[in-house]
């Protein structure tokens, strides 16, 4: 399915050596020596080795790795802030490593906008002038670039801050300016180099959320660098996992989590602090009342009235969940002179295991407002989650 999507950037057997005799280092690598051997023998660092991957049109690709994995080098090779040693990077038919000086400038202007870890805003320019920078470089006329910059600033929620200087803004707002500068440029690819890593956790989550929203609206091809697995899993359509300058695994977040390529990835996933991941259990409330399958419709309706609810979960004698009874259905059962409720149950509700991640529950509330049932492996009803509780729990987690 993915393979049919148009490819925006093709990276093929890309390598980068930091040192004076890169050919020699690559020769040694081809003989099968590893990074530290090459460093010892030649004093040169093999920054990236034989990297190949595609970036699909409109996807958010996360390149993730620990420090020293080569991820910052890799993103800088894409727009050639760092020259590559060998390999191809093809964007719209152009091979970036072989472009002449003029063509390279043109290519950077047309294709790439970059957001930096430490914002890299120009301190002598106002917020608006910062947002205009890319357009100004391209020679767009003043009226038009002001308009475009304003739109971008509105998109990131910086209305009213146009005339401020970067040092008057908080870190989160500064990075919004960085993002606006990139968006205003309207290039075909967005490069984000640890864009949220310098922000505190709360603001970081917000920014991730906003990026996801922007992304769903704009479908901009984005390459996002991070060292944080949580972040990668949260925002990435696909993840490229780097280790010591080589690719360990490429896949969707689910694939990385469920089918780790090797022990390194497995250890990485285990490294995720599980206590910080919120589950359905943490937001679950005990069920105030349930109906039994042996109850008649009148009894069930009576219980609903007592607790002012308009639907009730129905269990069997082992507390196994068998269905949901709505108040209307109970009334019609009474009218139909039915003695039992089992024929009037609906299965149109959601049930989740207690370890279900909390953010998954959000989507489930959209259709009907029944509380979500939390059941164990034996289908026993453990509790329910109502919409407000999810929000509460997320907010409280944010405060910590």
Partner 1 sequence: MDIPRIPLGTWIENGLNWLTSEYSLVTRGIARFTQTGINSLNDGLMWLPEWALMAMIALLCWKVASLRLAIGAVAGLALIWNLGLWDPMIETLTLVVIATFVAVLIALPVGIAAALSERLYRLIMPMLDFMQTMPAFVYLIPAIPFFGIGSVSAIFATVIFSMPPAIRFTTLGIRQVPVELIEAADAYGATRRQKLFKVQLPLSLPTVMAGINQTIMLALSMVVIAAMIGADGLGSEVWRAIQRLRPGDGFEAGIAVVILAMLLDRLTQSLRKTRR
Which residues contact partner 1 (rule: CB under 8 A)? 79, 81, 105-109, 112-114, 116, 118, 120, 122-124, 133-134, 136-138, 165, 185, 191
Q: Which is nearer to partner 1, 191 or 390 (CB)?
A: 191
Least separation in angstroms between residue 149's CB and partner 1 is: 13
The three-state secondary structure class of 317 is coil
How many residues appear in the chain? 400
| 379 neighbors 315 (Cβ within 8 angstroms) | no
In this structure, the strands spanning 94-95 and 45-56 are unpaired
Q: Which is nearer to partner 1, 33 or 104 (CB)?
A: 104
DSSP calls for 363-377: HHTSS--PPEEEE-T
Least separation in angstroms between residue 102's CB and partner 1 is: 9
CA 254 to chain centre: 12
| 386 neighbors 309 (Cβ within 8 angstroms) | no
Least separation in angstroms between residue 97's CB and partner 1 is: 16
Place of tokens 């050639």: 80
Least separation in angstroms between residue 43's CB and partner 1 is: 22
| 273 neighbors 233 (Cβ within 8 angstroms) | no
Least separation in angstroms between residue 201's CB and partner 1 is: 23
Q: Which is nearer to partner 1, 114 or 280 (CB)?
A: 114
Q: Which is nearer to partner 1, 186 or 206 (CB)?
A: 186
Least separation in angstroms between residue 310's CB and partner 1 is: 57
Nearest 5°: CA angle at 263, between 259 and 268? 80
Least separation in angstroms between residue 108's CB and partner 1 is: 4
The three-state secondary structure class of 380 is strand
Q: Which is nearer to partner 1, 118 or 219 (CB)?
A: 118
Q: Which is nearer to partner 1, 132 or 393 (CB)?
A: 132
The three-state secondary structure class of 158 is coil
Q: Which is nearer to partner 1, 178 or 371 (CB)?
A: 178
227-250 b/e with 16+ CB inside 10 Å = b?
bbbbbbbbbbbbbbbbbbbbbbbb
Strand runs (DSSP E) across 157-226, as ranges?
189-193, 221-226
Q: Which is nearer to partner 1, 134 or 251 (CB)?
A: 134
| C-alpha to C-alpha distance for 69 and 173, rounded to whole angstroms | 29
Least separation in angstroms between residue 133's CB and partner 1 is: 6
């Amino acid at each position: 399915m993915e393979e049919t999507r148009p490819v925006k950037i093709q990276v093929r057997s890309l390598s980068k050596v930091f040192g004076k005799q890169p050919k020699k280092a690559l020769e040694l690598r081809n003989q099968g020596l590893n990074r530290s051997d090459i460093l010892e023998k030649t004093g040169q660092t093999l920054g990236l080795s034989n990297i190949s991957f595609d970036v699909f049109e409109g996807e958010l690709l996360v390149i993730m790795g620990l420090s020293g994995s080569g991820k910052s080098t890799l993103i800088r090779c894409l727009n050639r802030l760092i020259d590559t040693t060998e390999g191809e990077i093809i964007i719209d038919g152009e091979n970036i490593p072989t472009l002449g000086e003029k063509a390279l400038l043109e290519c950077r202007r047309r294709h790439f906008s970059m957001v930096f870890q430490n914002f890299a805003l120009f301190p002598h320019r106002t917020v608006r002038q910062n947002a205009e920078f890319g357009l100004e470089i391209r020679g767009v006329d003043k009226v038009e670039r002001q308009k475009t910059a304003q739109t971008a600033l509105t998109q990131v929620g910086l209305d009213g801050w146009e005339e401020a200087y970067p040092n008057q803004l908080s870190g989160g707002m500064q990075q919004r300016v960085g993002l606006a500068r990139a968006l205003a440029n309207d290039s075909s690819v967005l490069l984000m180099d640890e864009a949220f890593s310098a922000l505190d956790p709360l603001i970081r989550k917000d920014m991730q959320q906003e990026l996801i929203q922007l992304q769903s609206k704009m479908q901009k091809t984005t390459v996002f660098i991070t060292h944080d697995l949580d972040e990668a899993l949260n925002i990435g359509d696909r993840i490229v996992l780097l280790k010591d300058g080589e690719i360990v695994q490429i896949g969707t977040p689910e694939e990385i989590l469920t089918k780790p390529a090797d022990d390194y990835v497995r250890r990485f996933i285990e490294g995720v602090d599980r206590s910080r991941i919120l589950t359905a259990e943490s937001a679950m409330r005990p069920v105030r009342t349930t109906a039994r399958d042996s109850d008649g419709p009148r009894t069930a309706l009576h219980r609903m009235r007592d607790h002012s609810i308009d639907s009730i979960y129905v269990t069997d004698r082992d507390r196994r969940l068998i269905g949901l009874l709505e108040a209307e259905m109970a009334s019609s059962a009474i009218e139909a002179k039915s003695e039992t409720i089992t024929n009037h149950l609906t299965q149109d509700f959601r049930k989740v295991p207690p370890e279900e991640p909390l953010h998954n529950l959000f989507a489930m509330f959209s259709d009907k407002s029944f509380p979500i049932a939390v059941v164990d492996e034996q289908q026993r009803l453990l509790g329910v989650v109502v919409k407000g509780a999810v929000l509460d729990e997320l907010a409280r987690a944010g405060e910590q």
